[in-house]
């Protein structure tokens, strides 16, 4: 009997642990537009560090929501921004069209608005907010660092970069760059130039370039480019980076 009770308690404890976060659709204002987003909240009372997540050119997919849930289970309030305002696709041609017709200035404002929304939440430590993005979202994560001086940590996963000294000078947060050596979109040379531009101005940057990895290697739905081994290491570095900068 005791063994059965113990087993039940273990099962309930396990089930409780895997549900140690909750999620919901939220809305907030970005200029005159009502933005929709996906918010994942960690278990526990009090204030938590927070993250803005910016999606790839596919839109706000389930993969992005899963990433938010994963961060929430690690103690972060995680908000996925929806730059496409509800449009999602798994077709490359449609994704390209969506990304090419996206208003770049408005998208940057959407990321800033996400930051401002997080600051209104009672369970967010407003002094510990970071940003991460993949592919197209990586570029806007970098724009977040450029346009949000209060941002405390920025991760760019194979996103478009800049070496403009005026823009680089505005970055206040430490930056982590995740790239693939075989990326044909974000070339290794541009990564080196970006890293040099930040270091020249005394910015804190750490870059990982993974061998045998191309563009979008972290997304397991990317059937031709996903690299399980390097993705595992990339997540390890991302978690360590955010924990080191947002959980002190």
pLDDT tens for 144-193 read 999 999 999 999 999 999 999 999 999 999 999 999 999 999 999 999 99
- What is the average pLDDT across 80-108? 97
Q: What is the mean pLDDT of residues 243-248?
A: 96
Q: Report the relative pairing of strands 33-42 and 77-81 from DSSP bridges.
A: antiparallel
Segment 76-89 mean pLDDT: 98
pLDDT, tens only, 201-235:
999 999 999 999 999 999 999 988 999 999 999 99
Q: Residue 52: which of 94, 122, 110, 114 has the closest Cα? A: 114
- Find the range with the poorest average confidence among 12-21, 40-49, 57-66, 208-217: 12-21
Q: What is the pTM of this model?
A: 0.91
pLDDT band at 248; cut points 50, 70, 90:
confident
Residues 84, 56 contacting (CB under 8 angstroms): no
User: Given pLDDT bands bounded at 50, 70 and 90, which one contains residue 128?
Assistant: very high
pLDDT, greater one: 211 or 32: 211
Q: 75: Cβ–Cβ under 8 A, 6 or more apart, which residues?
A: 42, 44, 48, 49, 247
Averaged pLDDT, 36-46: 96
């Amino acid at each position: 009997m005791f063994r059965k009770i113990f087993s039940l308690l273990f099962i309930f404890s396990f089930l409780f642990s895997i549900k140690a976060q909750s999620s919901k659709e939220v809305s907030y204002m970005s200029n005159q537009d009502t933005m929709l987003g996906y918010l994942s909240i960690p278990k526990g009372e009090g204030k938590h560090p927070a993250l803005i997540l910016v999606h790839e050119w596919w839109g706000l997919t389930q993969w992005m929501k899963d990433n938010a849930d994963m961060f929430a289970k690690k103690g972060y309030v995680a908000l996925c921004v929806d730059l496409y305002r509800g449009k999602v696709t798994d077709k490359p041609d449609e994704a390209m069209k969506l990304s090419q017709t996206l208003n770049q200035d408005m998208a940057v404002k959407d990321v800033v608005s996400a930051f401002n929304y997080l600051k209104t939440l009672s369970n967010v430590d407003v002094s510990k907010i970071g940003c991460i993005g993949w592919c197209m979202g990586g570029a806007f994560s970098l724009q977040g660092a450029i346009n949000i001086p209060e941002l405390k940590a920025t991760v760019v996963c194979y996103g478009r970069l800049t070496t403009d000294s005026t823009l680089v000078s505005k970055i206040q947060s430490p930056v982590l760059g995740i790239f693939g050596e075989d990326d044909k979109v974000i070339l290794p040379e541009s990564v080196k130039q970006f890293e040099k531009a930040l270091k020249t101005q005394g910015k804190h940057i750490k870059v990982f370039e993974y061998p045998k990895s191309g563009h979008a290697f972290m997304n397991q739905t990317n059937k031709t480019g996903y690299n399980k081994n390097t993705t595992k290491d990339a997540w390890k570095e991302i978690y360590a980076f955010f924990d080191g900068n947002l959980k002190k």
